[in-house]
């Protein structure tokens, strides 16, 4: 665990638009939906952050699961049938960066290492949303190329 860099970050409250993909490989589906929606809303030329998480989580015996993608938006952006608006309250997180070099990557293994790090720290599990922050432009997300994630594990003191 000592080879993993962990930062403690307080995410501020954020207003986000959320879309969901569901099936086998829902991340790509969700990012495709978000790209289309964000383009129609003229959001891509503005600053934003991208987050995602499993929703619902994978279940034993089924290849299908869900993935939500969030993009930060201001108060002028409204939800619709494709994207719902969420007022995320923010929270304290243990964060580590992961460079994913292939579609499989070791995202689950890195999550496990981050949880083990937390268990050996002064922090305990928080109850707010686990998040994967996707680093880079939305246009590059959801494909087979390499990408960068900041894994955000909810913690409290």
Q: Look at residue 117 and give its three-state secondary structure.
A: helix
Q: How confident is the model at residue 151 (pLDDT cuts 50, 70, 90)?
A: very high
pTM to 2 decimal places: 0.93
Please check whether residue 99 lies inside any domain of the structure: yes
Is 146 a domain residue? yes
- How confident is the model at residue 1, as a pLDDT? 43
Query: Residue 79 maps to which CATH number?
Result: 3.20.80.10
**How many structural domains does the chain have?**
1
Residues 16-45: tens digit of each pLDDT: 999 999 999 899 999 999 999 999 999 998
- Closest of 32, 46, 128, 43 to residue 78, by C-alpha: 43
- Report d(CA 28, CA 30) in Å as an integer: 5
1 lies in some domain: no
State the average pLDDT for the chain: 93
Query: Is 2 part of a structural domain of the chain?
Result: no
The residue range of the domain holding 61 is 7-156
Neighbours of 52 (CB within 10 A): 24
């Amino acid at each position: 665990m000592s080879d993993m860099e962990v930062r403690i970050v307080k995410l501020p409250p954020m207003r986000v638009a959320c879309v969901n993909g569901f099936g086998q490989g829902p991340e790509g589906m969700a990012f495709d939906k978000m790209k289309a929606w964000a383009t129609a809303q003229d959001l891509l030329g503005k600053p934003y952050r991208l987050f995602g998480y499993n929703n619902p989580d994978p279940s034993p015996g089924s290849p299908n699961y869900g993935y939500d993608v969030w993009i930060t938006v201001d108060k002028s952006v409204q939800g619709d049938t494709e994207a719902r608006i969420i007022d995320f309250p923010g929270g304290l997180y243990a964060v580590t960066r992961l460079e994913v070099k292939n579609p499989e990557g070791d995202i689950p293994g890195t999550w496990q290492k981050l949880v083990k790090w937390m268990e050996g720290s002064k922090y305990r599990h928080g109850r707010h949303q686990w998040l994967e922050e996707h680093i880079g432009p939305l246009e590059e997300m959801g494909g087979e190329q390499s990408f960068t994630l900041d894994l955000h594990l909810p913690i409290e003191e």
